[in-house]
């Protein structure tokens, strides 16, 4: 018995990707209930003190590193790396990101909630001190938007739990560094998951090779410019290393994909099954 195969594959094979929303509603409901509970001021304050009180026992660089994973440009680089593997998700990622970029600033301006540093006499602050526009947490929104987008297309349960834990750690770090209340992070998580859910109805589309290269090039250049403008001498060197390290990795992967796309496919041959 014989079958037709290929000695080497230098171009990525298109794999079927399905969208599973079966348990996503349960996750949104759970986060909604937690956010509603934290609307109670006493519970919200006590949770903040309990979590923020753990800050001195953890290295500052670790807290800053985890919380920076929810930063727009840092997470954007991670998203780009993932899209190189799954370019079909590009329309959904762009849709969800656009929704969050509109809703988060609007909600922050509308509620104009004070941050912990503006109301508490004592708390632990790691990094920049901010006083205004606390609700909702933008970092938590971005982290759960990214996790939610992947949750609905991934099959491996361990990977799903890892995504949720990673997003949860980013949200938790916002309390540890003294930047947000628990209700802010839960509202951000709910908003991110909701944006990802809405975007999940956007069809999975693989762009042509030419348009994909242009879009990836624009995204990479935009991320480089953003990181260059945001990098300052006051920033922790661990954060600078994390951001530029991810950008370097993204650049290498983009270059590799470009070079592979220019290589001709090897001739097919018959092999024994």
In DSSP terms, 5 is beta-bridged to 269
Which contacts of 85-88 are long-range, i.e. CB under 8 A and separated by 24 or more positions? Answer: 86/17, 86/153, 87/206, 87/207, 87/212, 88/17, 88/204, 88/205, 88/206
Which tens digit of pLDDT belongs to each residue from 135-190? 999 999 999 999 999 999 988 889 999 999 999 999 999 999 999 999 999 999 99
Total Cβ atoms within 10 A of residue 77: 27
Phi-psi bin for 58: left (phi > 0), alpha (psi -120 to 50), beta?
A: beta
**90-111 and 182-199 helices cross at what angle (nearest 10)?**
140
State the pLDDT at residue 81.
Answer: 93
Per-residue pLDDT, 221:
94
Residue 106 in this model has a pLDDT that exceeds 70: yes
What is the per-residue pLDDT across 195-225, written as a single tens digit (0 to 9) for each?
A: 999 999 998 888 788 888 888 999 999 999 9
> Does the reported pTM lie above 0.95?
no
Give which of 220, 219, 212, 214 is closest to 252, Cα–Cα. 220
């Amino acid at each position: 018995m014989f079958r037709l195969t290929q000695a080497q594959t230098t171009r990525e094979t298109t794999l079927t990707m399905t969208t599973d929303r079966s348990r996503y509603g349960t996750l949104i409901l759970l986060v909604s209930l937690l956010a509603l509970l934290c609307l109670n001021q006493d519970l919200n304050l006590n949770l903040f003190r309990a979590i923020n009180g753990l800050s001195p026992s953890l290295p500052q660089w670790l807290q800053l590193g985890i919380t920076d994973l929810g930063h727009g440009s840092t997470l954007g680089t991670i998203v780009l790396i993932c899209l190189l593997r799954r370019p079909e998700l590009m329309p959904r990622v762009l849709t969800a990101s656009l929704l969050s970029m509109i809703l988060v600033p609007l909600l922050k301006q509308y509620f104009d909630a004070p941050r912990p540093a503006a109301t508490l006499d004592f708390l632990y602050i790691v990094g920049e001190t901010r006083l205004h526009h606390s609700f909702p947490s933008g970092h938590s929104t971005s982290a759960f938007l990214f996790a939610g987008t992947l949750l609905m297309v991934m099959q491996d349960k361990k990977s799903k739990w890892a995504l949720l834990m990673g997003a949860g750690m980013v949200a938790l770090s916002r309390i540890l560094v003294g930047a947000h209340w628990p209700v802010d992070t839960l509202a951000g998580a709910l908003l991110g998951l909701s944006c990802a859910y809405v975007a999940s109805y956007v069809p999975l589309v693989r762009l042509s090779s030419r348009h994909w290269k242009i879009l990836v090039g624009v995204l990479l250049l935009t991320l480089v410019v953003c990181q260059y403008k945001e990098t300052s001498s006051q920033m922790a060197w661990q954060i600078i290393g994390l951001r530029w390290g991810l950008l370097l990795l993204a650049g290498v992967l983009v270059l590799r994909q470009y070079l592979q796309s220019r290589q001709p496919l090897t001739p097919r041959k018959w092999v024994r099954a």
